[in-house]
Structure 1
Amino acid sequence: MRRLAPYQTGLWLAEYLDIRCQLCRRYRSTPQSKLLQYQEQSSQYKLSEPSIQTALKKRSFLTHIGSRANSCLSSGLLCAHCHNDMTWLPRPFEVDIAPSISLSIQASTYYEYPIRQAIRAFKHQEDMTKLSLLLHAIRQLPRPHGCHRNNSVIIAMPTTSQRLVKRGFDPVSILSAQLSKHWHIPLWQGVKRIDDTVSQQGLTRAERLSNLDNAFAIIEKPPKKRLLLFDDVSTTGASLQALARVFVSFEHARKINTKSYRNYHISAYALAHGNQM
């Protein structure tokens, strides 16, 4: 039998053995069939029912455990109240990446209590039982219109080798891999992050932008025209802005130096948006 990775074990424990809501922890979680009924009454800013049905069908890597086990353990992740709160997508916000060019950033939820605590526990305490909740939030992101596996790639926010060694795992890579499965769009890892930058947490917007000067380097040409950038938490959008600017510069250089110019379309997505203070 194949051994499960730690994050897979966390998914199993959270989704199948804990009947309390993974957000508020006060109420029993609601079966997914009932959550779909609540979703039918959603507003225009919420996802459509077919999108939710697709997301829920993919919510577990253990659906093969059998119908009997599923019927006994189908308690869901969230109570109806928390599920409805999470399905309200924040409005996209924009940052400038070049003259007359802006980057649209769409988050799946706000970086507020209690999702903030779940993200922190996952990132800083390696609490893998929170991963299923974060994936539930990510699956609220609607796939960008017109994007598919043949014309798009997902680019996860790169981490430094120093931070990877210190933390022992890369949270953004794990989350982006699940987003890749949900959208059926491949990941691309042709960007690296320079080690001489410091953590963005606690910095002002001006300090964040200054800290990210020359923080990224493209190591190979992007294979697709549409580039979907992804980060776990976007506070001011500075990290995604800096990453997008690298591709704009790369694009401009190729336009000057070669006739095989590719006009990239860049958009950005995040698990959560808000203040990290």
Structure 2
Amino acid sequence: MVAHWLKKYTTDLLPPHCEVCQLEVGQSADFSWLCEHCQRYITEVKRCSRCGLPMETQMEVCGKCLVEPPTWQRVFCVGDYQQPISGYVHRLKYERQFWQGAKLASLLVPRIQKPAELLTSVPLHWKRQWYRGFNQSELIALSLAKSLNRPYNNLFKRTRATSPQQGKDRAQRMRNLHDAFRLIQPVNVKHVAIVDDVLTTGSTVQHLCKLLLEAGVETVDIYCICRTPEPTS
């Protein structure tokens, strides 16, 4: 107890250091736990507003989304699935470091200028949530809702366990998720944001979007920490 108190007291007296590289965090840093150098890795880049993938041009929407737009309206993310952000996601998800959810949410908040009326999250099957002890997407969503001053509601239930999406082509991914979710709460707003830790293929959130649109929601956005490229079929 005394050793823990002494460590905390002395740490508070010392200048803050970056959690990634251990360099001193300058006063101009936007976040007290990342130095200016490491913050370069989360600098916002030009992305397609619909799919969230990086773009080289200044167009708002990429060519693929112009031809075949997703069911959601916009994707807001911190960056690609790479260090240092991927490390924080991993520690939250697999090392039970619950406090990382608030840190990750703080990186995303400045990029959301007009928040949705209601936030929800991608559900886990009850067996996986029981084994893990929590839903990482829900933890991030709760922190986002608090910072954005918006309500959070658990709108979905995963009705059956599904096999991993990795290694499946588009058709197989869609079949794997067929009837895997249902809406468990009425939705009385027109604009909803679905929160997930990592958006890869988009197959899961696509199913959730359809449920919301069928329930009368007009606009669905995706709030995620990392956006990874969709694997080729």
The answer, yes or no, to whether TM exceeds 0.5 is yes
- What amino acid does structure 1 have at the position aligned with 2:82? E
SS of 1:239's equivalent in the other structure is helix
How far is 1:18 from its partner?
A: 9.0
The superposition leaves residues 36-81 of structure 1 with CA deviations (integer Å, 9 ceiling, x where unpaired) of 5xxxxxxxxxxxxxxxxxxx7xxxxxxxxxxxxxxxxxxx110012
- Matched with 1:123 is 93
Whether 1:140 and 2:95 are equivalent positions in the alignment is no
Question: Over the residues paired in the alignment, what is the CA RMSD in angstroms?
Answer: 3.1
Say which SS state the counterpart of residue 192 (structure 1) adopts: strand
CA deviations 1:84-118 (Å, max 9, x no partner) are 4323156134398xx97742322122111221122
Q: What whole-Å deviation, never above 9, does each CA across 1:113-154 have from its counterpart, x for those lacking one?
A: 221122112101113464454233222331336x4xxxx111
Query: What's 2:29 paired with?
Result: 35
1:6-17 matches, within 5 Å, as none
List gaps (5 residues or longer) in structure 2. Answer: 1-7, 52-63
Over 3 Å counting, the alpha-carbon distance change for 1:211 and 1:132 in structure 2 is same
Deviation at 1:263, TM superposition (A): 5.1
Q: Out of 170, 173, 186, which is 2:138 matched to?
A: 173
Aligned 8 A contact 1:153 1:186 in 2: yes
| Candidates 37, 44, 53, aligned match of 1:88 | 44
Any conservation in 1 of the 2:120–2:138 contact (CA below 8 Å)? Answer: no
Classify 1:88/1:206 alpha carbon distance in 2 versus 1 (closer, same or farther; 3 Å): same
Deviates most, 199-208 or 154-163? 199-208
Specify every segment of 5 or more residues in structure 1 that has no aligned partner in the other structure, as ranges: 1-11, 37-55, 57-75, 252-261
Kindly tell me: are residues 116 and 101 of structure 1, through their superposed partners in 2, closer, same or farther at Cα, counting changes over 3 Å?
closer
Change (3 A) 1:193 1:143: farther
The two structures have a TM-score, normalised by structure 1, of 0.64
1:195-234 equivalences under 5 Å are 195-234=160-199
Residue type of the alignment partner of 2:145 = S
Counterpart pick for 1:264 among 208, 215, 218: 218
What do the CA deviations read for 1:195-214 (whole angstroms, capped 9, x no partner)?
A: 33233345444433222111
Counterpart CA distance in 2 for 1:167 and 1:114 is 23
Cα distance in 1 between the residues matched to 2:230 and 2:132: 19
Identity of aligned residues (%): 22
Give the AA of the match of 2:190: K
Alignment of 1:10-25 (within 5 A): 19-22=16-19, 24-25=20-21
CA distance in 2, matches of 1:170, 1:78: 25
What amino acid is aligned across from residue 270 of structure 1 in structure 2?
C
Q: Identify, as 1 or 2, the structure richer in helix.
A: 1
Aligned length: 206
Residue 276 of structure 1: how far off its partner (Å): 9.4
Task: Give how far 1:224 is off.
Answer: 1.1
Report the AA paired with residue 163 of structure 1: R
TM-score by length of 2: 0.75
Change (3 A) 1:168 1:141: same
Q: Which amino acid letter does the alignment assign opposite residue 35 of structure 1? A: A
